[in-house]
């Protein structure tokens, strides 16, 4: 990691971010980062506790003269999305993130950066450790497993927090004050098949879909970026109809909350059709690259000859499965009729794995309307049940209803306008934020979410803008001094 990161301003924040990024912190494996944050709080002599789920709460008394002001909860999540390029040998379980400065941006080499939500965590750490920032009584809440189920927030118990206001530091545009968000539910389809020997006259090929832009499956779903699983399925289904292609394996995508960037398949094609199949792939690659030229300029469709797969899917089942994946909704399902330019409901077909007689499809379905969310989940369930799948919905979490009249919203709007000479964009977002869940536990707490400019979250292109972090930090400090 470049020492240049530690020299950036505000230096305390960036040093805490560097320390945090040296600690592996994948979702559902947060033991090391929980211990790190717990030690941090205890080393400052602050009241530090860890609940049964692993959420960490650190309390800091108010600055002199501010003792009678309402308690403010500062909240960020400890886990980060672990995504890397296919050619990267990086080991998330053992290595710290390899960061570098690129002009006005901080990036990572070949992996996600962890600015989501590490910049929020580091900001709170800087406030807890600092002695020269005026603030009311603070409760610093560091939650776990936000990225793959929000189980930390779901596990919060009444009475753990005492704050009147909650500042969630998990928004990715410094012009935005987020006051509402979508809920979500995980949809998982699984099935089995009796693999059969590949026909003797088949020639083996490996198909690849690479170079897609990817991104956050909530915040970026409206951008129309390519989904590697849908593109791969399109190629397989058409080639199966035209050339008798037989599928051996498919391995595409990864985490539910990341738009899949890559997919790979091993197939067999009748030898007498191999040349025509290769021409077909060349034409389809050109067509797809043209279709996605604006959103995914680095898309690459690859084809190489390999030893033919030893076993393939039965022909009838292969047709069922490819049709089910074709039918599975992906992308925007409905735009909000009430809030301009807001996606109301969507689905991300995040993962397809077909191998060794078993297959799995993973989706993340989002909506700001719970009834519509579950209706879309049932549509996905129906598509996969036609292929004989067992389909389960799990990990559902509620959305966060906007309250634009809340006093914390009015304060932060006023401070923003005076500080920057412009009005902030007060909005709701299509991502899942923990505010909806926390609000269910603490219905009287006023909440708002904001943060610096982060781009490419949930992908190896993730980066955070240095000047925006400086803007965000100054704004956060001023707000804390004025909360009353």
Q: Average pLDDT for residues 228-257, to the nearest whole number? A: 97
Contacts of 389 (CB under 8 A, 6+ apart): 189, 190, 191, 324, 359, 361
Q: What is the pLDDT of residues 131-162, one digit of tens each?
A: 999 999 999 999 999 998 899 999 999 899 99
The Cα–Cα gap between 381 and 375 comes to: 10
- pLDDT at residue 455 tops 60: yes
Integer Rg of the chain from CA? 24
The pLDDT, as a whole number, for residue 2 is 66
CATH of 3-181+399-482, one of 3.40.630.10, 3.30.70.890, 1.10.3720.10, 3.40.50.150: 3.40.630.10
Domain boundaries defined on the chain:
3-181+399-482, 185-397
- pLDDT at residue 1 tops 90: no
The Cα–Cα gap between 55 and 237 comes to: 45
Instruction: For 128-141, give one letter per residue: b (16+ CB within 10 A) or e.
Output: bbeeeeebbbbbbb
Q: What is the pLDDT of residues 52-99, one digit of tens each?
A: 999 999 999 999 999 999 999 999 999 999 989 888 899 999 999 999
Give the global pTM.
0.78
Active site residues per annotation: 79, 146
Q: Which two tokens stand for residue 275?
A: 């040349």
Q: What three-state secondary structure class fits 271?
A: helix
Q: Which two tokens stand for residue 309?
A: 């797969």
Q: Average pLDDT for residues 10-21, to the nearest whole number? A: 98
- pLDDT at residue 340 tops 90: no
Say if residue 430 is preceded by a cis peptide, omega within 30 of 0.
Answer: no
The whole-angstrom distance between residue 404's C-alpha and the CA centroid of its chain comes to 26
Percentage of residues in the chain having pLDDT higher than 70: 100
Average pLDDT, the chain: 96
Q: What is the pLDDT of residues 371-403, one digit of tens each?
A: 999 999 999 999 999 999 999 999 888 889 899
Q: Which two tokens stand for residue 333?
A: 């399902």
3-181+399-482 against 185-397: fold identical: no
How are strands ordered across the β-sheet holding 165-168?
47-50, 56-60, 138-143, 72-77, 165-168, 446-449, 176-181, 425-429
Nearest to 343 by CA among 427, 231, 453, 406: 427
185-397: CATH number: 3.30.70.360
């Amino acid at each position: 990691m470049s020492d240049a990161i530690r020299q950036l301003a505000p230096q305390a924040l960036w040093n805490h971010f560097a320390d945090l990024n040296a600690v592996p912190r994948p979702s559902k494996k947060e033991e090391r980062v929980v211990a790190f944050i717990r030690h941090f709080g205890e080393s400052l002599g602050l009241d530090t506790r860890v609940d049964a789920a692993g959420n960490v709460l650190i309390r800091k008394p108010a600055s002199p003269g501010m003792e009678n002001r309402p308690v403010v909860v500062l909240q960020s999540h400890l886990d980060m999305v672990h995504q890397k390029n296919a050619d990267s040998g990086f080991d998330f379980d053992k290595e710290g993130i390899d960061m570098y400065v690129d002009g006005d941006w901080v990036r990572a080499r070949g992996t996600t950066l962890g600015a989501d939500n590490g910049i929020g965590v580091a900001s709170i750490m800087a406030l807890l450790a600092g002695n020269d920032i005026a603030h009311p009584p603070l409760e610093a809440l560091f939650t776990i497993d936000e990225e793959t189920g929000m189980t930390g927030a779901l596990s919060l118990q009444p009475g753990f927090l005492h704050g009147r206001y909650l500042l969630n530091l998990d928004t990715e545009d410094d012009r935005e004050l987020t006051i509402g968000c979508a809920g979500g539910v995980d949809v998982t389809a699984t099935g089995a098949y009796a693999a059969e020997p590949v026909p003797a006259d088949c020639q083996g090929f490996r198909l690849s879909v690479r170079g897609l832009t990817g991104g956050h499956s909530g915040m970026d779903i409206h951008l129309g970026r390519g989904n590697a699983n849908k593109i791969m399925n399109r190629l397989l289904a058409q080639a199966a109809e035209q050339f008798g292609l037989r599928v051996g394996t498919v391995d595409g995508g990864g985490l539910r909350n990341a738009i899949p960037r890559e997919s790979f398949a091993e197939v067999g094609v009748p030898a007498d059709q191999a040349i025509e199949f290769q021409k077909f792939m060349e034409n389809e690659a050109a067509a797809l690259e043209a279709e996605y030229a604006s959103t995914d300029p680095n898309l690459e469709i690859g084809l190489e000859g390999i030893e033919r797969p030893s076993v393939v899917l039965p022909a009838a089942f292969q047709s069922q499965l490819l049709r089910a994946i074709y039918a599975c909704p992906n992308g925007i399902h409905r735009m909000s009729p009430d809030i301009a330019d807001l996606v109301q409901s969507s689905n991300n077909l995040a993962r397809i794995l077909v191998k060794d007689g078993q297959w799995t499809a993973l989706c993340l379905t989002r909506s700001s309307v719970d009834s519509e969310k579950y209706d879309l989940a049932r549509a996905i369930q129906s598509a996969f049940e036609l292929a004989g799948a067992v389909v389960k919905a799990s990990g559902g979490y509620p959305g966060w209803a906007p309250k634009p009249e809340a006093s914390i919203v009015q304060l932060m709007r006023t401070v923003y306008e005076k500080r920057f000479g412009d009005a902030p964009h007060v909005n709701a977002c299509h991502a899942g934020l923990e505010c909806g869940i926390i609000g269910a536990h603490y219905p009287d707490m006023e909440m708002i979410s904001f943060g610096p400019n982060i781009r490419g979250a949930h992908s190896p292109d993730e980066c955070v803008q240095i000047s925006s972090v400086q803007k965000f930090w100054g704004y956060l400090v001023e707000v804390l001094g004025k909360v009353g």
